[in-house]
Amino acid sequence: MRLAVVACAGFAALVSAAFAGPPARIGAGAEPALTSLRAIPSPAGSGSATPHLSRSHDGEVWLSWLEPRSRGGHALRVARLAGHHWNTPMTAAEGDSFFVNWADRPGVVALGEGCLAAHWLWTSSGEAYSYDVRVAFSGDRGRTWSNPARPHRDGTMTEHGFVTLLPEEGGARAIWLDGRNYAAAREKQAAAGGKPGGHEVDADMTVRTAFIHQDGTLADEAALDGRACDCCPTAAVKTMFGVLVAYRDRSPAEVRDISLVRGTAISDRTPSSRPAISSEIAWSEPTPLHVDGWKIPGCPVNGPALAAEDDRVAIAWYSEAGDTARVLAAFSKDGGRSVGAPFRVDDGEPIGRVDVALLEDRSALVLWLESRSQGALVLARRVAPDGSRSLPFRVAETSAKRGSGYPRMVRDGRRVIFAWTEAGNPSRVRVAEAMVPGR
């Protein structure tokens, strides 16, 4: 990979009552969540999948995705939205050792002022679940990229993935699921005469974080939770109170509800070798977002979603507690320190794979997959803090299978950009936009 010179500027009270009741009401005279859906020609090629959308603080919208190369392997591609079309795609990383998975997705995050950060997964050994996180930076709108760095330095041939990357001054903060405990468990298994290697060992997946400087060095490394669900995507946002992280937890009794961890700055870090770039973070203990009580003996591969603006936060997640599948949403007015009662969002047969965005009227737009007899629909619905809902908005038809992945969205003023994987042989990333109704 070419080396770029990168210079970028840069729960005290939580609801614990069990969810009860029917879906939240649709307000009288409710209007659709969005209007004027129109396709945007996709820059992604044949076989593309795992779309990711990001909008910088200065208004640039970026789409990234994985697609196969003609000579083998894969490329992580990225394009910038200019009006209603995408600029010529560029390559952030490529090679024949990508770890490609429908749920464990790479992405490019817009840092602002033409700066980008990319993350992807790279196989680290011949074991089936042995891969590292790689992160690289660009300071010239994706034309050149730095040499990749890893946010973890345990050196184990285990899982490191389900990454969320947050912009921070001077670099980016990574939050990921870390399987380093599996290495010791495999050694113990082998010493006891068991099969060496393998994924099914008695070990806990952890949630970890680190700040990555643009030169690839690390700071603020921390373990956020010592036991989490193995393969549900993470989510994180910055609020006026600090960093808020959401993920699917895992109790000793195999209850796998969503937990929150909050990070607040405790001091400015100003080493003589570099300008002030980030604050050291003090992390809270994990706290349940809401006691759904979903007990399941395996990972549902269905993570939460967060959106934040100043002190406002919207949270969306999927649960099957009580043998009832549902998509839920809740709001916080204080950066996630406290969270209001959850409201049901889905239409009765959800698959989950949620995303969420905050709108100017303080409502949230929730995106999810809804099952249908001949596949699935990508649906969106506005939910207000009082629980009233808009009519559902149909974004696209898709497959209910894993190949359809996670649909994504990002708000750009009054329009919302959507991206999803059109499953098939070959698959292809599709893009569309819609408008938020005016008030």
393 phi, psi to nearest 5 deg = -120, 125
Percent of the chain with pLDDT over 70: 88
pLDDT given for residue 279 in this prediction: 53
State mean pLDDT over 92-113.
97
pLDDT range class, residue 215, cuts 50, 70, 90: very high
Q: What is the extent of the structural domain holding 187?
A: 13-28+51-360
389-415 pLDDT tens trace: 999 999 999 999 999 999 999 999 999
Dihedral angle over CA of 151, 313, 102, 224, nearest 10:
40
Number of H helices, E strands in the chain: 1, 31
Q: Is residue 187 part of a domain?
A: yes
Instruction: Quote the pLDDT of residue 129.
Output: 86
Q: Which residues pair with 136 in a beta bridge?
A: 118
Q: What is the pLDDT of residues 275-296, one digit of tens each?
A: 333 458 999 999 999 999 999 9
Parallel, antiparallel, or unpaired for β 338-339 and 13-14?
A: parallel
For all residues of the chain together, what is the average pLDDT?
A: 90
CB 4 within 8 A of CB 145: yes
pLDDT reading at 17 higher than 60: no
Residue 262 has pLDDT above 50, yes or no: yes
Greater pLDDT, 134 or 439: 134
User: Is 124 within a domain?
Assistant: yes
The per-residue pLDDT for 152 is 98
d(CA 217, CA 361): 40
Tell whether 409 is covered by a domain.
Answer: no
Position 192 confidence tier, pLDDT thresholds 50, 70, 90 = confident
Residue 4 lies in a domain: no
- Reported as a pLDDT band with limits 50, 70 and 90, residue 3 is very low
Question: Taking 70 as the threshold, does the pLDDT of residue 439 lie above it?
Answer: no
* 282, part of any domain: yes
Q: What is the pLDDT, as a whole number, of residue 374?
A: 87
Q: pLDDT-derived band of residue 7, with 50, 70 and 90 as boundaries?
A: low
Angle subtended at Cα 360 by Cα 168 and Cα 364, rounded to the nearest 5 degrees:
85
User: Is residue 73 one of the residues assigned to a domain?
Assistant: yes
pLDDT exceeds cutoff 60 at 34:
yes
Residue 267 pLDDT level (bands cut at 50, 70, 90):
low
Quickly list DSSP for 277-339: --EEEEEPPPEES-----B-SS------EEEEETTEEEEEEEE-GGG--EEEEEEESSTTSEE
pLDDT (mean) for 193-217: 82
Three-state DSSP at 195 gives: coil
Please state the domain count of the chain: 1
How far is 197 from 194, CA to CA, in rounded Å? 9
Q: Which has more confidence, 191 or 118?
A: 118
pLDDT band at 21 (very low <50, low <70, confident <90, very high): very low
Phi first, then psi: what are they for 402, rounded to 5°?
Answer: -60, -30
Is this prediction's pTM over 0.85? yes
Banded model confidence at residue 423, pLDDT cuts 50, 70, 90:
very high
Q: Are 398 and 422 in contact (CB under 8 A)?
A: yes
* Domain membership flag for residue 168: yes
Bridge partners, 207 (sequence order): 177, 225
Burial of 346 (0-12, 13-18, 19+ CB in 10 A): buried
pLDDT at position 28 is 38
Which pLDDT band, with edges at 50, 70 and 90, does 201 fall under?
A: low
Q: What is the pLDDT averaged over residues 316-344?
A: 97
Q: What is the CATH number of the domain that holds 307?
A: 2.120.10
Tell whether the model's pLDDT for residue 10 goes beyond 60: no
Task: Choose among 125, 199, 122, 201: nearest CA to 160.
Answer: 122
Measure the CA–CA gap between 28 and 56, rounded to whole angstroms: 36
Distance CA 120, CA 107 (A): 7
Cα 245 from chain centre:
10
Interatomic CA distance for residues 280 and 7, integer angstroms: 21
Distance CA 12, CA 3 (A): 45
Residues 123-178: pLDDT tens digits? 999 888 899 999 999 999 999 999 999 999 999 999 999 999 999 999 999 999 99
Residue 69 lies in a domain: yes
pLDDT, one tens digit per residue, over 353-367 is 999 999 999 999 999
List alpha helices for 106-161, DSSP H: none
